[in-house]
């Protein structure tokens, strides 16, 4: 259900299954800086019997691409489309050095030659997460990518940054291949 709280001028979506008790409903509330999914009974617009809200429309999920489906309702700009289609696979194959370079392109102060690059990246992402999104529609792609990465749960990003790193150096690549072949032979 697309719902509006008239006194708050606030729109959100309540996700329900038919016959479900309101205590099991989930609210998807897309605040730009603190997007959250919460139980309806814990949402700040909650009222028993939904007396304080207006149900604008009811929709049934059909498995279609939601960004494309919602585009005609909210008119995504280029930045909105970029964010809607962004996923972690954009950086999962990148080295920490490459992620640091991406953050540098976005204007984040990262020293690529300092030993604790992973921690610098985490601090940089915390900084990015505090950026005001009032003008997000004007941001270049590098800033959008940095902001999207900053929205990923910290534990997931730390795991990504903790994986073995390859320098991209051909000698290091040969060594990785050789050691991998040696491990296979031993097995």
**Does the residue 78 lie in any domain?**
no
Rounded mean pLDDT, 67-93: 76
**Domain stop point among 61, 81, 98:** 61
Among 47-51, 99-103, 147-151, name the one with the lowest average pLDDT: 47-51
Measure the CA–CA gap between 120 and 163, rounded to whole angstroms: 16
The domain of 36 spans 2-61
**Domain stop point among 42, 61, 80:** 61
Specify whether 57 is located in the same domain as 93.
no
Q: What's the pTM?
A: 0.53
**Does the residue 79 lie in any domain?**
no
Q: How many domains does the chain have?
A: 2
pLDDT in tens, 2-27: 676 666 667 778 888 778 888 888 88
**Does the residue 183 lie in any domain?**
no
Measure the CA–CA gap between 86 and 27, rounded to whole angstroms: 22
**Domain stop point among 41, 61, 81:** 61
Specify whether 52 is located in the same domain as 98.
no
**Does the residue 146 lie in any domain?**
yes
Specify whether 100 is located in the same domain as 52.
no
Specify whether 161 is located in the same domain as 105.
yes
**Does the residue 102 lie in any domain?**
yes
Specify whether 98 is located in the same domain as 160.
yes
Rounded mean pLDDT, 94-98: 91
pLDDT in tens, 129-180: 999 888 888 999 999 999 999 998 888 899 889 888 755 554 455 555 555 5
Burial class (CB in 10 A: 0-12, 13-18, 19+), 150: buried
pLDDT of residue 152: 87
**Does the residue 187 lie in any domain?**
no
pLDDT of residue 187: 45
Specify whether 100 is located in the same domain as 29.
no
More confident residue, 30 or 102: 102
**Does the residue 121 lie in any domain?**
yes
More confident residue, 97 or 50: 97
pLDDT in tens, 50-71: 777 767 767 776 666 666 666 5
Specify whether 41 is located in the same domain as 97.
no
Specify whether 94 is located in the same domain as 153.
yes
């Amino acid at each position: 259900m697309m719902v509006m709280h008239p006194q708050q001028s606030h729109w959100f979506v309540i996700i329900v299954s038919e016959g479900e008790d309101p205590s099991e409903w989930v609210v998807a509330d897309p605040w730009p800086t603190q997007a959250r999914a919460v139980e309806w009974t814990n949402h700040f617009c909650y009222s028993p019997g939904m007396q304080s809200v207006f149900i604008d429309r009811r929709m049934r999920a059909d498995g279609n691409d939601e960004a494309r489906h919602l585009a005609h309702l909210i008119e995504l700009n280029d930045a909105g489309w970029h964010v809607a289609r962004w996923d972690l696979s954009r950086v999962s194959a990148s080295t920490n050095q490459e992620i640091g370079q991406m953050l540098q392109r976005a204007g984040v102060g990262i020293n690529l030659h300092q030993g604790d690059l992973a921690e610098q990246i985490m601090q940089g992402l915390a900084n990015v997460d505090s950026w005001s999104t009032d003008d997000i529609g004007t941001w270049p792609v590098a800033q959008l990518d940095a902001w999207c990465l900053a929205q990923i749960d910290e534990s997931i990003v730390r795991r990504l940054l903790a994986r073995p790193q390859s320098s991209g150096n051909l000698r290091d690549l040969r060594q990785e291949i050789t050691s991998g072949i040696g491990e296979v032979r031993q097995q």
